[in-house]
Amino acid sequence: MSELSSIVGVFRNRDWINTQEWTREELDKILDASFELKEKFRQGVKHNLLDGKTLFLIFYNRSLRTRNSFEAGMTQLGGHAHFLDPKDAIYTPALPGDEVAYTTERIADVARVLARYGDGIAIRIYGKHTNWIYGRGNLVIREFAKWADVPVINMECDMYHPCQAMADIMTIIEKLRKPQGKKFVMSWAYTPSVEKPLAVPQSAVLITTMFGMDVVLAHPKGFELDPQVLKWCEQNADEHGGSFEVSYDMEDAFEGADVVYPKSWWSQDFVPPKVKTPDFEGLAQLFNKNKRWICDQGKIDVAKKNAIYMHCLPADRGFEVTDDVIDGPRSVVFDEAENRLHAQKAIMAMIMG
């Protein structure tokens, strides 16, 4: 454990909200630690780097991977994670103005109290819990970070999913060795559910441009990502020697790809602040016009022969992707899911240690 213990507290007390707030060198350090922790886990070597420490997990939204990888990760690090359901287990943490007597509690108060009991606060919030107002989930997380003097971890908001991004790049490195110069395609895909946030695609294009990949973002018109994210992607590409472009054709985009990552997200045109209230009918119509955006074997065949298929899961099988692709030889989705565990353990040990 001698080498491993050297990662504890390397980034003590920093918040983990968006990878773009971290330098490439810092992210490399986290990745090194992630790979080392993965190897120790494989060997069954104990690594109690956060012995007796507590992480609070506040899940406004459902979760399988995130909750279980954080909770198991804390156990493996010698600590414990509290699963907190803000619906009826605790007083729902709320921004000023959203408060209801004896039902909610101001985030400033929740954050300051929890910081006295434990060592980190992690939050997932998007969709209906933010009234579908883009950016409000991120605002909630930043409000926690403002008041808590323990590190705050973004477990997916409406803007970013930085833990997924770390697992994604880790998986790409495992499968392709060097990301630099490889073609990465983040593509929209159809699903009957119109409620998936932009967090995964935004964090995916940010991290892959940061690692010098040739990134193509593909989606039908109307599914544009946040302009700020696009700007950062161009900056990243400039700085790190990759490229970034947008395509409106899934098949074109897949051509010659090393990595394809097709998944669904909603359209900003039908949710606040662009419109006053979310227009689910409009969303459904736009979605239904694009049912052919499915990742099937035909589309995969235009990518490179050894191209990999990625998805953050849960995948809507039969819509976003066909069974033969997600269960096929190019799919790396379970390695990708597993890497959540290792990347998050590295992040926790480094900021909470």
**What residues line the site for a second copy (CB under 8 A)?**
46, 48, 51-54, 56, 59, 62-65, 67-69, 71-73, 75-76, 78-80, 82-85, 87-91, 99, 101-103, 105-106, 108-110, 112-114, 116-118, 191-193, 195-196, 313-317, 319, 327, 333-334, 337-338, 341
- Please identify which residue in the block is written with the tokens 């060795």: 177
- To the nearest 10°, report the CA torsion of 270, 16, 81, 101: -50
Closest to 212 in 3D by CA, of 235, 248, 241, 190: 241
Residues paired with residue 154 on neighbouring β-strands, in sequence order: 123
Q: Please give the Cα distance from 159 to 162 (Å, whole number).
A: 10
Residues paired with residue 184 on neighbouring β-strands, in sequence order: 215, 259
CB of 46 to a second copy, least distance (A): 6
Shorter beta-carbon distance to a second copy: residue 5 or 23: 5
CB of 252 to a second copy, least distance (A): 26
Is-cis flag, bond preceding 262, omega within 30? no
- Burial tier of 29 (Cβ tally within 10 Å: 0-12, 13-18, 19+): middle
CB of 56 to a second copy, least distance (A): 7
CB of 311 to a second copy, least distance (A): 10
Strand order in the sheet with 259-263: 243-247, 214-218, 183-188, 259-263, 308-309
**Tokens found for residue 168:** 């994604």
CB of 263 to a second copy, least distance (A): 11
Residue type for position 258: D
Shorter beta-carbon distance to a second copy: residue 110 or 210: 110
Is-cis flag, bond preceding 314, omega within 30? yes
Q: Please give the Cα distance from 270 to 293 (Å, whole number).
A: 19
CB of 69 to a second copy, least distance (A): 5
Shorter beta-carbon distance to a second copy: residue 263 or 299: 263
Shorter beta-carbon distance to a second copy: residue 13 or 63: 63
Shorter beta-carbon distance to a second copy: residue 292 or 317: 317
Shorter beta-carbon distance to a second copy: residue 122 or 337: 337
Shorter beta-carbon distance to a second copy: residue 167 or 253: 167
Helices (H), 44-117: 65-76, 107-117
Count of C-beta atoms within a 10 Å radius of residue 334: 11
Shorter beta-carbon distance to a second copy: residue 183 or 340: 340
CB of 347 to a second copy, least distance (A): 16
**Tokens found for residue 152:** 């705050």
CB of 78 to a second copy, least distance (A): 7
CB 253 within 8 A of CB 164: no
